[in-house]
Amino acid sequence: MTVTLSAVHEALALHSPFRISRGVKTQADVIVATITGDGRTGRGEAVPYARYGETIANVLAQIDGVRAAIEAGADRAALATLLPPGAARNAIDCALWDRDGAAPPAPARVASAITIVIDRPDAMHAAAARVAHVPLLKVKVDASDPAAQIRAVRAAAPGPDLIVDPNEGWDRSLLDAMRPVLIDARVALIEQPVPAGDDAWLAGYDAGVPLCADEAAHVAADLDRIIGRYAVVNVKLDKAGGLTAALDLATAARARGLGVMTGCMVASSLGIAPALRIAALSDYVDLDGPLWLAQDRTGGVRDDGGWLCAPEPGFWG
- Cite the active site residues: 140, 236
Single out the residue of 64, 60, 30, 34 nearest to residue 237, CA to CA.
30
* Helix (H) and strand (E) counts in the chain: 12, 14
Is residue 225 within 8 Å of 246, Cβ to Cβ? no
How many CB atoms lie under 10 A from the CB of residue 108?
9
Q: Which residues pair with 43 in a beta bridge?
A: 34
CA 178 – CA 163 distance, rounded (Å):
14
Q: Which residues pair with 20 in a beta bridge?
A: 23
CA 40 – CA 101 distance, rounded (Å):
9
CA 226 – CA 196 distance, rounded (Å):
10
Helix intervals (H) in the chain: 56-65, 67-71, 76-82, 87-100, 121-130, 146-156, 172-184, 223-226, 237-240, 243-255, 269-272, 276-279
**Helix 146-156 / helix 172-184 crossing angle, nearest 10 deg:** 20
